[in-house]
Structure 1
Amino acid sequence: MTGVRTALVIGGGIAGPVTALALRRAGIEATVHEAYETPADGLGGWLQVAPNGLEALRILGAADTVEASGRPIRRTIIADGRGRKFGAYTGVPGLPPGRALRRSELYRLLHDHAAAQGVRVEHGRRLDGVEETDDGVTARFADGSTATADVLVGADGIRSTVRTLVDPEAPGPAYAGLIAFAGRADLTVPGPPDTMHYVFGRRAFLGHWTGPDGRTVWFGNLPRPEPMTAAQAREVPAAEWLEVLREAYADDVPGGDLLRHTEAAELSAVGALEILPAVPRWHRGRMVLAGDAAHAPSPSSGQGVALAVESAVQLARCLRDLPDVPAAFSAYERLRRDRVEKIAASAARTNSRKASGRLARMLMSVTAPIAMRTFATPRRMFGWMHGYRIDWDETVTP
């Protein structure tokens, strides 16, 4: 055991509470410090928690509540904008279905579970600097307060402050060439409610499924040369975005109908899809990165939540089992880096297909059905990703 008994977790989004929960299970008291004054209730669109994410949450005792709240997705259909199906995936045999739910709902569930387990979250604690000694690390916050612990975990997202403290030359997020939107249409697309649809339309990508109330939940990725932050995207009136999106999806099935039945009040402009390039340094001294601060593969991976939970569990195991902090942090990076970078590369290829031009889309409509009928089976494509399991009881070795 490293001798670590306390930890500061910087960032109170999704990665923060799950990291604190994992550390607590390893016998480490962790307090979450969140920059914003209030919780992030109601923010964000919809997401999926993949099967590997559910299994990692099971280690933390949080899987049942997420499974009960989310819509199970047992089948995925891929089609083009004309309504022609390339094929369908029914999930990796032997694995449970992923769950689709609002990000705000997942946020609430995880924070409630963490609070029930004794994890404390302190709001209004924006990190301003860090001081390290041989025995611990002290965080200085913008409000003048400080906090000291044995280690500090940066779970503060894709624009992580902790990442710049670990490595001032660390890369920031890169724009993927797509602006993301989410909405809900007052329309039910025929088909089973546990089916996700991915549609590579004539001008833009659209995903959709049936929400709990029978209306269709959708998310779209619109190619755009210039990046736009979420704040900038929200400054544009929803009615203006609806005009742009209705034109982009006008000739697509069912995109045209879904956008015509979406009201401005049901539209969310999420902002630029971003991907974090490989981060050279994950740790320095008594500071270490987790979640999107270390690896953000873009939402196209469907793995953001799952990877954050996996990393939290692996970090906790390493601090539990290894003799000192440097050995624990090095082992943690060794257990995680190859996997998260492979998933990031896969997401980058998906982003490229979403942003591709008309000729590339036509070519995909020819080659994709052949691939899905032959070598692109669910087990081959997703088994390595969704079938990942962590044995909490196994001892980590250097």
Structure 2
Amino acid sequence: MTNSTGTTKGKVRSALVIGGGVAGPVTAMALQQAGIEATVFEAYDRPADGIGGGMGLAPNGFQAFDAIGVGDAIRAVSTEMNGIVLRSWNGKKLAEFGTLPGIDPTRFVIRAELFRALREAAAKRELTTVYGRRIVDASQDADGVTAHFEDGSTATGDVLIGADGLRSTVRRLIDPAASAPRFAGTAGFGAMVTDAGVAPTDGMMHMAFGKRCFFAWQVLADGTGFWFVNLPVARPLTPSEQRERGGAYWLEHLTEVCEGDVTPAGRMLAATDPTAMLFAGSTESLPRSVRWSRGRMVLTGDAAHAPSSSSGQGASLAAESSVELARCLRDLPLPQALARYEELRRPRVERIVKETARTNARKAAGPVGRVVRDALLPVMFKLVKPEKNAWQFRYPIDFDAPVG
């Protein structure tokens, strides 16, 4: 029996993917590889060039990227991190983590470069992205689901996938009582510099818990480098609000905030072109989302699960979930596919979100908390074996294997 959208015995043939960030194009490419026609609908009227700061891409994320053949394109625009050195405000080394045996290094990428690489890969596969389509509502019945956009247009498919980020409209359509994102107490800033004026860090990312902010940096052999800051703020800041004040204002403010910390912040901020500043908005996470799907609508990426940027896992988990969702939709009738997808993904992502909450508390610590943190962290890291965290970075995906 075939219905009007071409679905045979509940199997999905077409999908509407809402959101053109990371999860959107990854989902569309994975669906195409699974034999499902997918169209991406992006709310903004243009690609997200120059928007957002930098991020870490964990090796488990690359396992998902490789499963759909885009891993090498993303490696080409990212930088290898051989490990992380944690420091206190006075330069004292608190801990050092190298790459775990048998696990590839984490890589650092500017968000806009990641968006561009994914957009170009999707275009090569002749996938369609429609810009300027902000979803406002959706209706569904036994034959399909229809997205209603702000401009009055509509689109219909077998399934509607919300890949529209932390403030997902699709999440609200699935669950009107869904929790709002949780503010983690900091805002993110960053930049690339062509001449850092700082010695190369030999592939290591250095991170300092400063007296008034968290500053991280890495410098390559040719003198180029990148830095990012998590600045404690009293209320959430959007990238637009950061941008309104301008790069010159924030460079001056961050220089003042970092003064007195034993880091290269002063030199690297002075070497930064104000027009090259990257604004990442507030660090936020998503409390446990009760519902991931309803009928023909389902969530993926940050719309379903959003650890804060402290985890270094946001984009990687989004890629994992997007690929796994495509496999489930390929192999199972719709209701079972969405149930199996959630069963595969929810325990893992919620465990990582929980782990990240502790990191955020350290970054936004006050004067007393800072003293306690710097005293306890070296002891904690000596007791904790890095190998115990290896589970986060191992998530092999055999795309062709059938989903049970």
TM, length-normalised to structure 2: 0.93
In the alignment, residue 392 of structure 1 is paired with which amino acid? F
Secondary structure, in 3 states, of the residue corresponding to 2:39? strand
Assess if the C-alpha contact under 8 Å between 2:84 and 2:207 holds in 1: yes
For the pair 1:246 / 2:235, whether they are aligned, the reply is no
Deviations 1:69-106 (A, max 9, x none): 21111121111111111121111210111221211111
Q: Does 1:321 align with 2:331?
A: yes
Counterpart Cα distance in 1 of 2:44 and 2:273:
30
- Pairing 1:1-398 to 2, within 5 Å after superposition: 2-185=10-193, 186-210=195-219, 214-254=223-263, 255-322=265-332, 324-373=333-382, 375-380=383-388, 382-397=389-404
Q: What does the per-residue CA deviation read over 1:11-36, in whole Å, with 9 as the maximum and x for residues that have no partner?
A: 11111000011111111111101111
Q: Distance in 1 between matches of 2:347 and 2:16?
A: 26
- Residues 63 and 269 of structure 1, relative CA distance in 2, 3 Å threshold: closer
Query: How many Å separate the matches in 1 of 2:75 and 2:221?
Result: 14
Counterpart CA distance in 2 for 1:223 and 1:335 is: 35
Q: How many residue pairs were aligned? A: 394
Query: Is the contact made by 2:198 and 2:267 (CA closer than 8 Å) also made in structure 1?
Result: no
- Gapped runs of 5+ residues in structure 2? 1-8
Q: Deviations over 1:230-264 (max 9, x none)?
A: 22222223322223211210011213333344342
Contact 1:2–1:319 (CA under 8 A) maintained in structure 2: no
Superposition deviation, residue 68 in structure 1: 2.3
* Alpha-carbon distance, 1:211 to partner: 5.2
Name the aligned partner's letter for residue 343 of structure 1.
Answer: I
How far off is 1:377 after superposition?
Answer: 2.8
Deviations 1:329-373 (A, max 9, x none): 111111111111111112211110000112222222222223333
Q: Once the two structures are superposed, what CA deviation does each residue of 1:160-180 show, in whole Å capped at 9, x if it has no partner?
A: 111111011111212111111
Q: Is the 8 A contact 1:2 1:321 kept in 2?
A: no
Residue 86 of structure 1: SS of its match in structure 2? Answer: strand
Counterparts of 2:316 and 2:361, CA distance in 1: 22
Instruction: Find the aligned partners of 1:291 and 1:257 in 2 and give their Cα distance.
Output: 36
Contact 1:188–1:216 (CA<8 Å) still a contact in 2? no
Question: Aligned partners of 2:127, 2:339: CA distance in 1, in Å?
Answer: 26
**Cα distance in 1, alignment partners of residues 113 and 204 from structure 2:** 20
**Residue 206 (structure 1) shift:** 0.8
Distance 1:243 1:275 in 2: 28
Output the CA distance in 1 between the equivalents of 2:24 and 2:188. Answer: 24
Query: Structure 1 pair 258/252, CA: closer, same or farther in 2 (3 Å)?
Result: farther
The answer to whether the 8 A contact 1:139-1:147 is kept is: yes
Quick check: 302-311 or 176-185, which moved more?
176-185
- Following the alignment from structure 1 to structure 2, what is the Cα–Cα distance between the partners of residues 150 and 321? 15
For 1:2 and 1:97, the matched residues in 2 are separated by: 41
* Secondary structure in structure 1 of the residue aligned to 2:171: helix
| Distance (whole Å) between structure 2 residues aligned to residue 212 and residue 146 of structure 1 | 51
Mapped contact 1:2–1:328 kept (Cα < 8 A): no
The answer to which of 388-397 and 248-257 deviates more is 388-397
1-structure distance, mates of 2:378, 2:200: 21
* RMSD of aligned alpha carbons: 1.7
**Residue segments in structure 1 that go unaligned for 5+ positions in a row:** none
Task: Look up the equivalent residue of 1:160 and give its one-letter code.
Answer: S
What is the letter of the counterpart of residue 151 of structure 2? D
Q: Equivalent residue of 1:69, what SS?
A: coil
Q: Distance in 1 between the 2:314 and 2:109 partners?
A: 14
Match of 2:5 in 1: none
Q: Output the CA distance in 1 between the equivalents of 2:179 and 2:355.
A: 19
Q: Per-residue CA shift, 1:257-309, capped at 9, x if unaligned?
A: 33344342333332211111111110000000011111111111101110110
Question: Residue by residue, what CA displacement relative to the aligned partner does 1:121-170 show, whole Å, maximum 9, x if unpaired?
Answer: 11111112212110211112222222111101000111111111101111
SS in 1 for 2:179: coil
How far apart, CA to CA, are the structure 2 residues paired with 1:43 and 1:309?
Answer: 20
